[in-house]
Amino acid sequence: MKAQPNEIDSAVLGRIVLDLTEIDGEGDIAEFEADYRREHDPYCAVTKVPAEELATVHKLEDHGFRFVEFQMRLTGSLPQAFDVSHYPYRIERVISEAQLEPVLDIATTTFDRDRFSMDPILRAAGRNISGERYRRYVLKSFQAADECVYRLVSDFSAETVGFSTHRHLGEGEATLLLGGVRNDLKHSGMGGVNDYFALNELRREGVRRFSGHISGVNYPIINLNMRTLRVRVVACYVVLRKIYG
């Protein structure tokens, strides 16, 4: 079992947030917890457990961890491009800070169905913790050598209306990270359009298989992905966290 500080989440919350991995349901959770508390003095510890490992989930609950999110891992393939010829938009890779600014504005405001925005304890802090968090993750993608940020631009106004980020894994595979559209364009079908352009760009870059994670309460996006992107669910996870005083 391992405990590793999450750099972005720790910076956003102002204290150490630990990612706990390789949790062993047969191991000594109490001893593991005592060790990482001595070493890191964390504000919060977060772990993700396969949903079928109920014994491990229950053991973590017995030690004060609380359920905060159900996640699904989706995979899909790109045998052919989506027809986007009738949409008045274009997709561009973000290569300058000027192009990045409107993307960061969208990332800061568009997400409202994630565990940080829904967690009652974090929500009580009175800050847009979720928005700050996603802003930093987009910045990370902009700076990382194996990640990309793309923006969807209107042909009429030249305004940025959506964005997407992904990580190249090599050998024709990529991980979808974040994506969203401006708040005023939500529920208009623009989410799907944004996905079409992003996946077409991945295909142009040589990607033929993709995967990503989605919150189990993000019903609109789940339905959209199942209906239009030809994805399938390959794994489910329970996310639990424990906050220390």
Domain extents in the chain: 2-71, 76-235
Average pLDDT on 38-51 reads 97
β-strand pairing of 173-181 with 209-215: parallel
pTM: 0.91
Q: Which CATH superfamily is domain 76-235 in?
A: Gcn5-related N-acetyltransferase (GNAT) (3.40.630.30)
**Strand pairing partners for 50?**
237
User: Which tens digits make up the pLDDT trace of 102-118?
Assistant: 999 999 999 887 888 88
Backbone dihedral region of 4: left (phi > 0), alpha (psi from -120 to 50 degrees) or beta? beta
User: Which tens digits make up the pLDDT trace of 181-232?
Assistant: 999 998 888 999 999 999 999 999 999 999 999 999 888 888 888 887 889 9
pLDDT band at 124 (very low <50, low <70, confident <90, very high): confident
End-to-end CA distance of the chain: 23
